[in-house]
A and B are shown apart, each in its own frame.
Chain A
Amino acid sequence: DTEVTQTPKHLVMGMTNKKSLKCEQHMGHRAMYWYKQKAKKPPELMFVYSYEKLSINESVPSRFSPECPNSSLLNLHLHALQPEDSALYLCASSPRPDTTRTREQYFGPGTRLTVT
């Protein structure tokens, strides 16, 4: 299995809703990432998990809450989002974060989030 899967593909939520995005990989990768991408912009890093521990949080608002229950699974819990949070949310994984030569990232197809 050489892919990263993300569910759901599309999500529409109101500003008072709570929802979660899910990401899964079965490649034995030990780093997982969340990115946010707005239209016609490059992906922006949000969080990095390294060996199931949160290693990087790029000053993301607390209404986004990541969780890494095990080495294959990454969740992003969403609460009280704003319309400007509407974007494509991308998950990625890479083999080993602790050496610079093994950081190639494999991305999922993304979840298209719309906040109304």
Chain B
Amino acid sequence: DAKTTQPTSMDCAEGRAANLPCNHSTISGNEYVYWYRQIHSQGPQYIIHGLKNNETNEMASLIITEDRKSSTLILPHATLRDTAVYYCIVSGGSYIPTFGRGTSLIVHP
């Protein structure tokens, strides 16, 4: 499965959009991009996934570039409860879901 690269940390003002990038330059044709988040001391929470089209659900939007080498998770109106570590995972043929170090997002008042 393709490896991913994410910034270590980001911060965002409450009420503003949080845009979390992920690089997956070695992604192959049938691999999906999955996003999760983990709030302190809780189990990770599934957010959204996609293949090549942009996706939106009640939690977030996922924008995947045309070449599929990177993606951005967008939280449109961040709240303090969105403070968490966000993980981007690519799932493909070998199917060993591997969590990288993720991005620690801090939403401040």
Residues of A participating in the B interface, judged by any CB pair closer than 8 Å: 4, 33, 41-45, 48, 56, 58, 88, 90, 92, 97, 100-101, 103-110
Contact = CB atoms under 8 A, between A and B. Distances in A.
Interface of B: 30-32, 34, 36, 41-46, 49, 51, 85, 87, 91-93, 95-102
Nearest to A39: B41
A108 B91 contact: no
A56 B96 contact: yes
Contacts of B98: 45
For the residues of B in contact with A, the DSSP-based class is loop
B46 A105 contact: yes
Given A45-B96, A100-B91, A101-B51, A107 B101 contact: no
20 contacts: A41-B101, A42-B99, A43-B44, A48-B95, A56-B95, A58-B96, A90-B43, A90-B44, A100-B93, A101-B32, A101-B51, A103-B34, A103-B91, A104-B34, A104-B46, A105-B97, A106-B46, A107-B44, A108-B43, A110-B42
